[in-house]
Amino acid sequence: MAFRKAGNTAKNDHVADANSFRLERKRGVRERIEYLTRQAQERVIEKRQRIEEQLWAIHEADIGDFFETIEVAKSDGDGKLETDAAGKMLTVRKQRPKLLSDLPAGVRKVIEDVIIDKRGNIVPRLYSKAAANKGLRELLNIGRIEPEVNDASRLSDAELIRQLADQAKQLGVKIDLSYDFGQRSDE
């Protein structure tokens, strides 16, 4: 009973394959398949472009875009504000991270994560430029070593065997380059 079921399934698969081949030959179906295939290829191209743009943004990101310079009152070791001889308060320039909400969306996209420093400031940590560089090199096929193509790699098996046999004959070497794909003796 199991054999009949399996046989029917195989028979039905064959009929389904034949029907699909017949349908694919119809003009409208063929055009629709071509349209959907083109649409899928265009989506892959768009996705690839977005990935490349993001990798370039990471690669070219400037850490300075995430910080701002501020002037703060200078204080002594006891926390008292310092003044000059005229009584004017002294200031010191310091760097602090910009508020995330003040950063443009394109700039925020290159932030991998944030850490909170001891003062409670949110400090951005950018994606790795080295990883972006590696990704771009792979995406754009930069620096890829192509396998060496020689004349022998372009030959068919029959042509290669014929050439080897000719060379062996010229050198006076007896070789047997036959191969057999017959049934095994244990079957």
Return left, alpha or beta for 143; rule: phi > 0 is left, psi -120 to 50 is alpha, else beta. left
Tens of pLDDT along 125-150? Answer: 999 999 999 999 998 888 877 766 66
Q: What is the pLDDT of residues 36-59, one digit of tens each?
A: 888 888 888 899 999 999 999 999
Task: Check residue 112 and give its pLDDT.
Answer: 94
Closest CA to 55 of 123, 117, 133, 152: 133
Q: Rounded to whole angstroms, how far apart are CA atoms 109 and 103?
A: 10
The strand pairing partners of 111, in sequence order, are: 126
